[in-house]
A and B are shown apart, each in its own frame.
Chain A
Amino acid sequence: MANKLLDALSSVGHRMSSSMRLINYYWQRTKRNKLAVFGLAFIVFLVALAIVGPFFTADPTAVNFDEKEIPPIGFTTQQSMYDIASNTFTTKEVNGTWKHPLGTDSKGSDMMAMIVSGARVSLLVGLIATGIAIILGTIIGVLSAYMGGWVDNALMRFTDIVMTFPFFLLLVLVVFIFGPSLAFIVLAIGLTGWTGTARLLRSESLSIRTREFVTAAKALGATDGRVVFRHLIPNAISLIIIIATLSIPGVILAEAALSFIGLGDPTVPSWGVILESGQHTLDTAWWIAVEPGIMLFLTVLAFNFLGDGLRDAFDPKSNV
């Protein structure tokens, strides 16, 4: 069994190296869609930021109440302060400084550091949860199509049930039971998010299964596992890539939404958590909520643009 798995994995690796030509071809096609290129560029920038950014920014958890609510560079705000000595409120003008280019939050933590480490969290959440969902969805969808009969029926009805289950309620329930831990939230998103993937892959596999090379593979004596891993899934790989790209932003948004209603993990500064912490100070320090909001907006947009571009590039019928 383990040997078979290794064999399958090594064959995947082998194919990866031998298909640079194909990757180049799809890149040429994707390149023609300017929005997709923008999306890809932004995602690459974001990934780089998430990986190396935290080494260059200040500690995002450092608290300094003397420097709280400093606006981003180029902005000025009025801060009213209570002075104990004279027992009066004084109003002070605060300017953005280069020390905190994106300002600070209400505890005096550096916004830039928080945004950068938030990028790391949000991307990880998106990738891991999507990874879980895609793997589950692919296995269930392909198995369903390949086995047919009662297996197909059972798996698809199970998919229907998971699909109709209110997803947000489940997340609230998970947070209620296990506490607001990011790991459980990611797991919950992954374990419920596979249904669409399963359905799409089932229909795709049903059509691949009837193609003659599948019969030909069986005629050569291939086992079921071989047919699935070498013939069915590789032929559906473009669909899988598109689904993954398009579902990452959904997952990031789901985590942000959960954090926004106060069910996020307060110990990990994801963009949603920062956004939530800024909603009480929208009138005095708008940037605390707006900055992670803009990042979420751009990230979701970038993934959607890239996903659309890839879909057009992979579709042999479209002439991009």
Chain B
Amino acid sequence: MKNDIVLKVSDLKTYFFTRRGTVKAVNGVDFELERGECLCLVGESGCGKTVTALSILRLFDSPPGKIVDGQISFDSLDLAKCSSAEMRRIRGKDIAIVFQEAQSALNPVLTIGNQITEQIKLHLPLDHTRTVERAIMMLGDVGIPSPASVMSYYPHQLSGGMKQRVLIAMSLSCDPKILIADEPTTAVDVTIKAQILDIFRELKVKRQMSAIFITHDLAVVAEIGDRAVVMYGGKDVETAPVSEIISRPKHPYTQGLIDCLPDSSRSKNRLMSIPGTTPNPMDMPPGCAFHPRCPRAMKICRQQEPTKTSISDGHSVSCHLYT
């Protein structure tokens, strides 16, 4: 059952050429996004999740950043290579992004109304009244009470959860085909987190929108994800449907992540953790990037990079244990 694919990222490599050396933030990532699905990018801080998202929209600072290799196929276009004018048309209209820090992602000197209509005016051929109507409707859709009055508020007059909703409303205001959410639940408390996840779930059902959800929180993945891509050291190490990832993780890193989750059934034990820290992206270990921390590392792991192996339908893993 292969649905049609809206976005295909293949062998994406985004490097940052700094004075102190080359940072290989994303170093060969492959994934496909199917229509109407919610794909989760999972991994620790610094594994390249955010840079992958920014690469899709080409929003990183360039220089020093550069997509050195790979393709991002969207709508018969290659986003890794198309012109900046084409890129601008796609941003916000076809592919929208919600940032992690709602506080800083809103301009403090403009009203909410100003900021949300700005984008609608930019992409949709609507007159002023229709634009305002649409903006108010969008704010209402994400559960903001009395959206018409919120239009004239400044960001500092809203709570963190409200600001996050405003951001979601903004990114949805032009009916994007793909929504990228960069840790939208990290900076908010648990109640808001639940509400925001509800909004996303509702969107998925109502709009049949495809979403890339970036998170380090496996609970969030289990909540709303259809498929998950586990990233480590700038690479995707395991891709599988969410239920499969949770119940039958194959890669030792994924297994480690799952073991780290607090579990009420064995509450007497200490919480597990993966030893060591994420590798320095300027100085990646040779072979499999995870081998210094891997409990099941073999000799070959130090010498040779593992290739992708398909375990079952839709489940692939890059690990020497399975080759």
Shortest A138–chain B CB gap in Å is 16
Q: Which segment, of A183-191, A227-235, A240-248, A289-297, faces chain B? A: A227-235
Q: List B77-117 residues whose CB lies under 8 Å from chain A.
A: 88-93, 96-97, 99, 101, 104-111, 114
Q: Which of A125-133, A168-176, A212-220 contacts B (4 or more CB under 8 A)?
A: A212-220
B216 at the interface (CB under 8 A from A): no
User: Does A149 lie at the interface of the complex (its beta carbon under 8 Å from any beta carbon of B)?
Assistant: yes
Contact of B104 among A212, A218, A219 (CB under 8 A): A212
- A15 CA to B111 CA, complexed, in Å: 9
B110 touches A219 (CB 8 A): no
A15→B117 CA distance, assembly (Å): 13
Known contacts A18-B152, A149-B63, A222 near B122 by CB under 8 Å: yes
Residues 118 to 139 of chain B near chain A (Cβ within 8 Å): 118-119, 122-123
Give A236-264 interface residues, CB cut-off 8 Å to B: 237
Which one of A11, A211, A215, A216 has the highest number of Cβ atoms from chain B below 10 Å of its Cβ?
A216
A-B contact count (CB 8 A): 77
> Which of B99, B108, B123 makes the CB contact (< 8 A) with A215?
B99
* Contact yes or no, B90 A220, CB < 8 A: no
Give the contacting residue for B59; candidates A218, A223, A237; CB below 8 A. A218
Taking CB atoms, residues of chain A closer than 8 Å to B89 are 221
Chain B neighbourhood of A219, CB < 8 A:
57, 59, 91-92, 96-97, 99, 171
**Once the chains bind, are B170 and A220 in contact (CB under 8 Å)?**
yes
Min C-beta distance of B212 to chain A, whole Å: 13
A15 touching B96 in the complex, CB below 8 Å, given contacts A211-B104, A216-B105, A221-B119: no
Decide if the interface of chain B is mainly helix, strand, loop or mixed.
Answer: mixed
Q: Of B90, B104, B110, B152, which is within 8 A of A221 by CB? A: B90
A11, A213, A221: which contacts B107 (Cβ < 8 A)? A213
Residues of chain A within 8 A of B105, CB atoms compared: 212-213, 215-216
Smallest CB–CB gap between A91 and chain B, Å? Answer: 68
Contact across chains for A221 and B108 when beta carbons are under 8 A apart? no
CB–CB A237/B109 < 8 A: yes
User: Can you list, as one digit per residue, whether each of B170-185 has a CB less than 8 Å from chain A (1) or not (0)?
Assistant: 1100000000000000
Hey, which chain A residues are within 8 Å of B108, CB to CB?
213, 235
B-side contacts of A217, CB under 8 Å: 107, 118
Q: Are B170 and A235 in contact (CB under 8 A)?
A: no
Q: Shortest distance in angstroms between A109's beta carbon and chain B's nearest beta carbon?
A: 49
CB contacts (< 8 Å) of A222 on chain B: these are 88, 92, 118-119, 122
Query: How near does chain A come to B61, taking the closest CB pair, in angstroms?
Result: 9
Interface string of B281-305 (1 = CB under 8 A from A): 0000000000000000000000000
Cα of A134 to Cα of B165 in the assembled complex, Å: 38
Partner of B118, one of A211, A212, A218, A230: A230
Beta-carbon contact of A212 and B101 below 8 Å: yes
Q: Which residue of the partner chain B has the closest CB to A237?
A: B109
Asked if B59 and A220 sit within 8 Å, CB to CB, the answer is no
Residues of B within 8 Å of A14, CB to CB, are: 114
B99 touches A216 (CB 8 A): yes
> Judging by beta carbons under 8 Å apart, are A221 and B91 in contact?
yes
A220–B99 CB distance below 8 A: no
Q: Which residues of B contact A231 (CB under 8 A)?
A: 107, 110
Is A220 in contact with B109, judged by CB distance below 8 angstroms? no
Q: Taking CB as reference atom, which chain A residue is nearest B123?
A: A221
Q: How far is the CA of A292 from the CA of B58 in the complex (A)?
A: 60
Q: Is the CB of B110 within 8 A of A234?
A: yes
Q: How far is the CB of B107 from chain A (nearest CB, A)?
A: 4
CA of A221 to CA of B86 in the docked complex: distance in angstroms?
10
Cβ of B109 and Cβ of A218 under 8 Å apart?
no
**CB-CB < 8 A to B110: which residues of A?**
15, 230-231, 234
Contacts of B167 in A (CB 8 A): 216
Min CB gap B133→A, angstroms: 18
Q: What separation, in Å, do the CA atoms of A230 and B57 have in the docked complex?
A: 21
Which residues of A sit under 8 angstroms from B97, Cβ to Cβ? 216, 219
Please give, as numbers and ranges, the residues of chain B lying within 8 Å of A22 by CB-CB distance.
154
What's the Cα separation between A237 and B152 when bound, in Å?
A: 20
Q: Contacts A213-B104, A219-B97 known; list 15 others, CB within 8 Å.
A: A18-B111, A18-B152, A212-B105, A213-B107, A215-B59, A216-B106, A219-B59, A219-B92, A220-B91, A220-B119, A220-B122, A221-B123, A230-B107, A230-B118, A234-B110
Q: List 23 A-B contacts (CB under 8 A).
A: A15-B109, A22-B154, A211-B104, A212-B105, A213-B107, A215-B59, A216-B97, A216-B99, A216-B167, A217-B118, A218-B91, A219-B92, A219-B96, A219-B97, A219-B171, A220-B91, A220-B118, A220-B171, A221-B92, A222-B118, A222-B119, A226-B122, A234-B110
B: residues with CB less than 8 A from A are 57, 59, 63, 88-93, 96-97, 99, 101, 104-111, 114, 118-119, 122-123, 152, 154, 167, 170-171
Task: Identify the 3 closest CB pairs spanning chains A and B, nearest first.
Answer: A221-B92, A220-B92, A221-B91
